[in-house]
Structure 1
Amino acid sequence: MLLAQISDFHVGKLGSSIDTEYRTSEHLRRAVEHINRLAPRPDVVLCTGDLVDEGSTEEYARLVALLAELTMPFYVVPGNHDHRENLRAAFGGRGYLPAEGFLQYTVDLGELRLIALDTHVPGAPGGLLCAERLAWLDARLGEEPQRATVVMQHHPPFRSGISYIDTMGLEGIEGFTEVVARHPQVERVLCGHLHRPIVRRVAGTVAMTCPSTSHQLELDLREPGRLALVDEPPVCLLHVFREGLGLITHSSYMRDFGAPHVLVEV
């Protein structure tokens, strides 16, 4: 089982500053082409939030057209830049999003189970896992305690050490940790939001963030720090699940570095 993860597309309206300056739609198109060319081909693609920049129906129409080029199923969760109801309207026909309420769901991936969480708070940059959302997670994890499970959400359940972005973090981390600690089948918690690859141990499992398909945040560990963008390569995370090995994560850089120099071929 091979899961590709991409995040923080920030698709904007045609002609907007994020569209022309940061070329976010162009970068997502390249990400889709990159994933489609991978060998072996991923079984599914996980999209961990901030799918569009302002949450408008125009942006979601562009996003739908771009993701339609993927040659495998994909699953989405909202980020702080998204709009819950517009996202539901855009992707509701794919059969996995609930008709009302939080955009939370489960998917049977065969060897793995996927649980998607909605950390969105309308109008706020930070996220929230309230008592209702955590109770839902606890119940879903309790349904199949022996089944290897991946949880995906936009806001990571940890502080990153990048002080400015940590002011836009997740509320409810303590409750999330308590729930996950009761369910050791959680192989990984996959997140976005930070525009950097960051890994932390959480409640007996591993939580990690996926870089953006477009622009990355500067690694600034000073206190107080600043918020700045850097032209680091966009990354697609590849999560490989194999019996006896568990879940292993690799980074696939979405930039042309030339042909590999083959040392041994078998």
Structure 2
Amino acid sequence: MLIAQLSDTHIKRPGELAYRRVDTAYMLSRCVADLVRLNPQPDLIVITGDLVDIGCAEEYAHLKRLLAPLKQPIIMVPGNHDGREAMRTAFADDGYLPASGFLHFSIDDRYPLRIVGLDTHVPMAGGGELCEQRLCWLDEKLQRERTRPTILLMHHAPFVSGIGFMDEIGLHGRERFTEIVARHPQIEMILCGHLHRNIQTMVGGRRVSTCPSPAHQVALDFRTDTAGGFSLEPPGYLLHWWHDGHLVTHGVMIGSYDGPYPFVDAAGRLLG
């Protein structure tokens, strides 16, 4: 199984730029074109939050138009820039989001991996939260399928990244989350967004990875006394390959580049 992970697309209303500089719609269209060219095609596409920028219906309609060339199932969790009810309404026909409450879901029997989505959204806040109600929901879902390989999707990363201005708007409740995931070895990986970079670590003995944005990246800045910012580094996404009981992750840069060139000549000799 091949899963493409996008994150932090930040789609605005048609004609608007993010932060007066980034054409996120154009950048997502380039990412979609890259995905369409992949061979083999991903079986599933997941988007780990900040789908849009201010959480309004017009932005979600624009996002749906941009994603239309993708024929795979697409599943999403909300981020801090999303609007829970507008997102619920926009994607109600897809059938995996609940009709009320938090936008949690569990897709149990459609794929080789069980996929559990978590809603870390806090209205009008940059940081996220896994409150006791949300954590109990997660623990109960994991208890039901203790031997089924599982991926968790969430927007806010459950660790301190070292990028100070982003850690200030990190995840509340991560300590209890860590305790829960440590009890569930069936979790293969926790896929996150929010940090606009590919960052990898371990939480509760489970692998965690954040996804770069197909648009702008968070500036890599380990100082604790700066307001932070973003950069226009090469955009990207992740491909997660489930094969023979293992999940292998590849980082992909969006765009056209020279190559591929051969390593060997026609006789099979390594080119000098």
Q: TM-score range by the shorter chain?
A: over 0.9
**1:129 equivalent in structure 2:** 130
1:1-266 correspondence to structure 2 within 5 Å: 1-18=1-18, 21-107=21-107, 108-244=109-245, 246-263=246-263
Identity of aligned residues (%): 49
Mapped partners of 1:229, 1:171: distance in 2:
23
Shift of 1:157: 0.3
Q: CA deviation at 1:109?
A: 4.0
Checking the alignment, whether the CA contact within 8 Å between 1:44 and 1:73 is kept in structure 2 is yes
Q: Could you report, residue by residue, the CA deviation over 1:194-249 in whole angstroms, capped at 9, with x for unpaired residues?
A: 011111111011111001110001111122233121121111100111124x1111
Larger Rg: 2
TM-score, reference length from structure 1:
0.96
Which residue identity is paired with 1:60?
A: Y
Aligned residues: 265
d(CA) in 2 for partners of 1:71, 1:121: 31
Range 221-230 or range 180-189, more displaced: 221-230
Structure 1: distance between partners of 2:116 and 2:30:
27
Amino acid at match of 2:65: A
Amino acid of the structure 1 residue aligned with 2:16: S
RMSD of aligned residue pairs (Cα, Å)? 1.5
**Structure 1 residue 20, shift from structure 2 partner:** 6.5
Report the secondary structure of 1:236's partner residue: strand
Structure 1 counterpart of 2:228, which letter? Answer: L
SS at match of 1:81: coil
Q: Using the TM superposition, give the Cα deviation of residue 19 of structure 1 relative to its aligned residue in structure 2, in angstroms.
A: 8.4
What is the identity, as a one-letter code, of the residue corresponding to 1:94? Answer: D
Q: Is the 1:9–1:52 contact (alpha carbons within 8 Å) kept by the matching residues of 2?
A: yes
SS of the counterpart of 2:106?
A: strand
Q: Which structure 1 residue ranges, 4+ long, deviate > 3 Å from structure 2? A: none
Contact 2:17 2:24 in 1 (8 A): no
Residue 262 of structure 1, CA deviation: 2.2
- Which 5+ residue runs of structure 2 have no aligned equivalent? none
Partner Cα separation in structure 2 for residue 170 and residue 131 of structure 1: 13
1:43-102 deviation digits (Å, cap 9, x = unpaired) = 000100000000111111101111222121110110000000000000011111100000
After TM superposition, the score normalised by the length of structure 2 is 0.94
Which region of structure 1 is more displaced relative to structure 2, 110-119 or 8-17?
8-17
